[in-house]
Amino acid sequence: MAARHLLYLTNEYLVSLVARGGRIVGRNVHPATDAGRADFERHLGELRTVPTHVIADLAEEDFRVDTIPHLGGRDRQAVLARKLSQLFRNTAYRHALPQGRETEGRRDDRVVYTAITNGEVLRPWVELLERLEVPVEGIHSAPVFSGRLLTELGLVFPHTLLVSFAPGEALRQTYFRGGEIKFSRITPVALEEGETLGGFVAGEVGRTWQYLDSLRYFAPADRLEVCVLVHPKDRPAVEPVLRDYDQIQFRLLDIEQTATQLGLKPPPVSSSAEQVLAHLFLRRRGENHYASPELRRFATLRNTRIAITAAAGAILAAGLGWGAWNLSFALQSRELDLATSRRIQAAERELDEISRSHPAQEVGGQTMRDTVSFYSGSLRSYPTVGAFLLPVSTVLDRYPSVRLTQIVWQAADDDKSTPALVPTIPREAPPLKAFIRKADKGRAPVRSQEPADTPFSTGRVAVAVIEGTVAVEGVAFRQALRTVEALAADIASLPGYRASIVDSPLEVAPGYAIEGRLGNRAPGESHARFSIRVSHATEPRA
């Protein structure tokens, strides 16, 4: 039965919840100290390969309500990413929650931006999970996910404040407007002398109502429904102090009854709500809010391995089925196969008889001598493109700014032969280009020529035209020219090789004019085309 591992993280504790078959079967609490993390690492030894979800219930989680113009696709994602980077530039744990559209005006999109503003709270735990290569599926916001509890219990009101307790004696208050989260805060439970838990809850709820009222969330006729999730043993200390007002009404939710309604067995033994939220998460997983692709890489690898294994199993099953079908078909067709074999044997005997009845046709001696002479004199020492380009490739390795685009090669009798090459156009055209002046068009040099139509070349010379591009930073064409000239010189220095530039990155010879397209900003990197003619004289082997 597949297991899941849920880590409920607060500022004080990390609660490890192990689930199998949709039920929580193990619970371990680890303090947020060096000793607690060491104990958690030992506990994690048997769970390193189990899919893990982190549910963050931290005081450093911030919420910002905003609207953006209604956009779609990539434009919307770009606006959300830019707003997140502006609001929470010092943390990588940030997320945008789209919440529908406004009903009036331009009908802009409603968005809540949320982030864990202090990444140091997460860092020690995340580093431990990464070091042990734990498959982390996601980091989820407990306040955002807690809205599902209200939905499951049918407690969605125009204005709802969910009050729950987190591990480590903390009080979490999350405000939902029409089912959409708008605000959340967590407060350590520090009772003063003579103060009851109910008095503390009532005071914190009052302060939260005043803050929300200052943001003009409430009209005079609106009422805030406060749902307090509490254990029966804490109810006597809470219920007597909570009094309803015109705009505040309290609803006590028995955590044991809530667990029974949700199918959580056994029910929690305290008012801490992490098991209830974890059980809801097991029933229907929430989206990832804060985990980066880098943190989720081990989960991605695990899911990929599972998919490959499943595909391999399906292929194997299909292969076995296909094999069984073929075997059955072969057994059913055994008589037909035997008859076919007998016909093949008869045909072979007939072929042998025909072969013996005809005289052997020998190859004439003169034809054989001519063939051997042609091979020894022309083909055995004939140049190959691999042998020709291997020394050239060692030179190209020394020029990282040069990209090879195409090579045209031929074997010829004349060292002046040049194979024809169709120029390619670079994707990133340089800002400058050269062209022939009108007065000099009649004197344009010939770049390449078609090879002579000869019956067969002896291959005394191997000729190639090498085309490539050279990186140009801005308009620094002098460096590009020097690079191409140095490349041609290095190729020419190879034994038996000659090299000359056919097309320069920027023609500066008389008769050429230079045209540029420069804007207000300095041009970036581009690639200029060039071509070099390379020849190599071969000597026939004895």
Q: For the CA atoms of 176, 182, 188, 192, what is the dihedral angle to 10 degrees? A: -70
| Whether 465 contacts 531, CB under 8 Å | yes
The predicted structure's pLDDT at residue 506: 77
Rounded distance between C-alpha atoms, residue 121 and residue 531, angstroms: 59
Q: With a cut of 50, list the residues of the chain below it in pLDDT.
A: 443-448, 450-452, 540-542
Helix (H, G, I), strand (E, B), or coil: what is residue 222? coil
- Owner of token pair 């990444």: 119
What 154-162 contacts at long range (C-beta under 8 Å, 24+ apart), as own/partner pairs, is 155/225, 155/227, 155/251, 157/225, 158/222, 159/217, 159/218, 159/222, 159/223, 159/224, 159/225, 160/224, 160/225, 160/227, 161/205, 161/208, 161/209, 161/224, 161/225, 161/226, 161/227, 162/227, 162/229
H-assigned helices in 384-427:
385-396
> 512-516 and 432-436 as β-strands: parallel, antiparallel, unpaired?
antiparallel
- Rg of the chain over Cα atoms, rounded to whole angstroms, equals 40
Domains and CATH numbers, the chain: 147-272 (3.30.420.40), 385-537 (no CATH)
The two tokens of residue 212 are 């929300």
- Read off the pLDDT of residues 150-175 as tens digits, 9 standing for 90 and up: 999 999 999 999 999 999 889 999 99
Peptide bond into 266 cis (omega under 30): yes
Q: pTM to 2 decimals?
A: 0.60
Rounded distance between C-alpha atoms, residue 166 and residue 258, angstroms: 16
The predicted structure's pLDDT at residue 481: 87
- Read off the pLDDT of residues 381-425 as tens digits, 9 standing for 90 and up: 677 888 888 898 899 899 998 888 899 988 887 777 888 888 887
Rounded distance between C-alpha atoms, residue 377 and residue 459, angstroms: 11
- Read off the pLDDT of residues 180-213 as tens digits, 9 standing for 90 and up: 999 999 999 988 888 899 999 999 999 999 999 9
- Read off the pLDDT of residues 90-129 as tens digits, 9 standing for 90 and up: 999 999 999 988 888 888 999 999 999 999 999 999 999 9
Q: Which residues contact 429 (CB under 8 A, 6 or more apart)?
A: 526
The predicted structure's pLDDT at residue 54: 96
Rounded distance between C-alpha atoms, residue 391 and residue 397, angstroms: 10
Which residues sit opposite 98 in a β-bridge?
A: 111
The predicted structure's pLDDT at residue 424: 84
The two tokens of residue 374 are 């042609």
In terms of residues, how long is the chain?
542
| Whether 251 contacts 227, CB under 8 Å | yes
Measuring CA to CA, how many Å separate 60 from each of 114, 208, 273, 326, 439?
10, 17, 19, 65, 75
The predicted structure's pLDDT at residue 333: 78
DSSP string, 346-357: HHHHHHHHHHHH
Backbone angles phi, psi at 98, to 5 degrees: -65, 140
> 224-230 and 248-254 as β-strands: parallel, antiparallel, unpaired?
parallel
